[in-house]
Amino acid sequence: MRTVEPVADSQGVLPGRDEGSRQSSAAPETTAPGWASPRTAWFTLSMIGTVTILGQMDRAIFYLLVNSIKRDLQFTDTQMSLLMGVAYSGAYFLFGLPIARLTDVATRKYILPCALAAWSFGTALCAVSANFWQLYIARSIVGGGESVKGPCSVSMISDLFPRDQLPRAYAAYNFSIRFGEALALIIGGLLIGYFATLGTVQIPLIGPMRDWHMVFLIFGIPGLVFALIFLATVKEPARHGRKIKGSVPLKEVFAFLFRSKAGAVLIPILLASAVNNIEMVGIGSWRPTFYERTYGWGPADFAPIMGVANLILAPIALIAGAMLSERLARLGHADANMRIVLWANIGAIPLGIVSPLMPTFEMALTVSLMSTFLTIASAPSLLAAMQVVTPNELRGQVNALYLFTLSVLGQGLGPTVVALMTDFVFQSEADLRYAMVTIAALAGPVSLALVWIAVKPYGEAYKAATAAD
């Protein structure tokens, strides 16, 4: 493990470390240059956004293909939930934090495209998988590659834009997440419908392929190409606000979380995100199957509609959320970011509960989109709040812990909890909707309570950070 060298300056020590940890003999780092020009910052953000779009497409397309894979490979709901969840999140757990530690010290412009190439290869590998374990390995490669995407992207963005511009920067970043999910729905739905009319397709050097094989192959190839473009065009942003050299040991990361005032904000956020994502990913991963089982709407029918709706709603929600957060901050509300998250949770919980109970597909989709709108609107504020209270040296690892709660706990547990409840509690695939309602009713209030706990300490932390500047 590398030795951390504290810088002896007037700004004090890293939160979570005592005064005695200063070393007067430590040499300070070279002063970082000024912020990147707006043109460079937004170009880099657009390239990061494109990587994110490709990642979200590769992640989301699997959910549209559940019934097609089950049809050909005769899997149960529980087996499919393991491929959606544990296969992905297990690799995420193994690779996420170790590589996130690299993002705090290494050149991020190299790390991110390598991760893109890895998960794109995993998606393409799904296309040639013929049994459960082959798909499990392919999904694990996707999860391992995508574990790098979030921490690396968020760390780079925090060094491209000053604090007062972070909400709009993260709004743009979150739009790329939603845009990727929407493209997966639109393109995936159209491709599924098209390949369904062709039946089995004979591919040279590969052999016979069905609709889901072809979709995986088409989704995997673009990322391999764009990884090279990213390497050739993106510059590494200068790091800002660092007080130490090297990678911070894990014990100091946890000391920061549990001993500093920032921990009173971050720990409730991490727990709320875990609980909330068990609900969101659990329900979201099964929603395409729910629409088909309950209303008779297959992916080729509903996916393009959902995709277009998300493309329309996402920018409106993100702009509205970022503008409201910045306006509240200008009016003197130090807790503006977390206040937005709290309000969004209050509105989204009842919508999430009643959506699966709607009598028609149109009504279920409408209520679901209303809940999604509120969730999207609060996303930039949540990310900005985390960066405000986290030192530069720790952002990669803290963001990795945040994404651990989302992808390992949420993605790992969510789909399987819904599947187990469908198979063993309600004991009927037709009752999938009641499993979804139960998860929403249990997880929503817990997540809301945790967010509420973080609001006041965040306001205090924001004031302290502003005073320190």
- Establish if 397 belongs to a structural domain: yes
Termini Cα distance of the chain: 32
- Establish if 180 belongs to a structural domain: yes
- Cβ atoms < 10 Å from Cβ of 45: 22
From first to last of its 469 residues, the chain has per-residue pLDDT tens of 333 333 333 333 344 444 333 333 333 333 345 788 889 999 999 999 999 999 999 988 998 998 899 889 988 888 888 898 889 888 887 887 777 777 777 889 999 999 999 999 999 999 999 899 999 999 999 999 988 888 889 889 988 988 778 878 888 898 898 899 899 989 999 998 898 888 777 777 777 888 899 999 999 999 999 999 999 999 998 887 655 555 667 778 788 888 888 888 999 999 998 888 888 888 888 888 899 889 999 888 888 998 999 899 989 998 899 889 889 988 989 999 999 999 999 999 999 999 999 999 999 999 999 999 999 899 889 988 988 888 877 776 787 778 777 767 777 788 888 888 888 888 888 899 999 999 999 999 999 999 999 999 999 988 887 777 6
Per the CB < 8 A criterion, the answer to whether 417 and 282 are in contact is yes
pLDDT at 244: 56
User: What span, in angstroms and rounded, lies between the C-alpha atoms of 266 and 308?
Assistant: 34
- Establish if 19 belongs to a structural domain: no
pLDDT at 15: 40
pLDDT at 247: 61
pLDDT tens digit sequence for 160-196: 988 778 878 888 898 898 899 899 989 999 998 898 8
Q: Which residues are CB-contacts of 229 (< 8 A; sequence separation ≥ 6)?
A: none
Give the domain extent around 51: 35-238+246-468
Number of compact structural domains in the chain: 1
> 3-state SS of 288-320?
HHHHHHHHCCCHHHHHHHHHHHHHHHHHHHHHH
- Establish if 27 belongs to a structural domain: no
What 3-state class would DSSP assign to 128?
coil
- Establish if 279 belongs to a structural domain: yes
Structure-block tokens of residue 135: 């798909």
- Establish if 270 belongs to a structural domain: yes
- Establish if 221 belongs to a structural domain: yes
Domain CATH number, residue 78: 1.20.1250.20
- Establish if 14 belongs to a structural domain: no
Structure-block tokens of residue 333: 């509300």
pLDDT at 22: 38
Nearest residue to 177 (alpha-carbon basis) of 57, 323, 322, 337? 57
pLDDT tens digit sequence for 289-330: 899 889 999 888 888 998 999 899 989 998 899 889 889 988
